Amino acid sequence: MYRTEGPLVFYKGLTPTLIAIFPYAGFQFSFYNSLKHMYEWVTPAEGRKNENSKNLLCGSGAGVISKTLTYPLDLLKKRLQVGGFEQARVTFGQVRSYQGLLDCAGQVFREEGMQGFYKGLSPSLLKAAFSTGFMFFWYEFFCNLFHHMKKAGS
């Protein structure tokens, strides 16, 4: 790859990644917080014994919502990254070539419509639900653990 396209080939898809990562992370924390408040509002006080399941459930929901909102940029990133492998992909069907982020977005919209920006969303949602759910589960677990350790040491 380096020999045929130069060092910039390793940075294909970097622009949509950088554009998407900040809103994605922000959405995760924002929706996690909102879902936790909603969970506490909906669940009766006696039903709130297990905080771990709340953290896992709300984290999973936050991941799904965040991924859905930022998925179009993820799709563009992936399409830009597979560019350059046209010969290897000929047997898989239509081979597309893009001149950059805006060209990629324009071609997706023209050829596939709005639903084209969400192709492959389902497996990404599954991954986002598990990874974000466990991220918040462990985040809250260790925050509580350190809080109790600090409290016990005082």
Q: Return the pLDDT at 63.
A: 98
C-beta neighbour count of 77 within 10 angstroms: 20
The residues, ordered by sequence, that sit 6+ positions from 37 with a Cβ below 8 Å of its Cβ are none
Enter the pTM of the model: 0.81
The residues, ordered by sequence, that sit 6+ positions from 2 with a Cβ below 8 Å of its Cβ are 9, 10
Q: If we measure between CA atoms, which residue out of 60, 88, 79, 74 comes closest to residue 4?
A: 88
Is-contact 62 35, C-beta < 8 A?
A: yes
Q: Return the pLDDT at 85.
A: 64
Q: If we measure between CA atoms, which residue out of 30, 12, 32, 16 comes closest to residue 131?
A: 32
Full pLDDT tens readout for the chain, 154 residues: 677 778 877 777 788 788 889 999 999 999 999 999 999 898 887 766 778 999 999 999 999 999 999 999 999 998 888 876 666 666 666 778 888 889 999 999 999 999 999 999 999 999 999 999 999 999 999 999 999 998 887 7
Q: Return the pLDDT at 89.
A: 63
Q: Return the pLDDT at 93.
A: 67
Q: If we measure between CA atoms, which residue out of 57, 7, 20 comes closest to residue 35?
A: 57
- For residue 34, the one-letter residue type is S
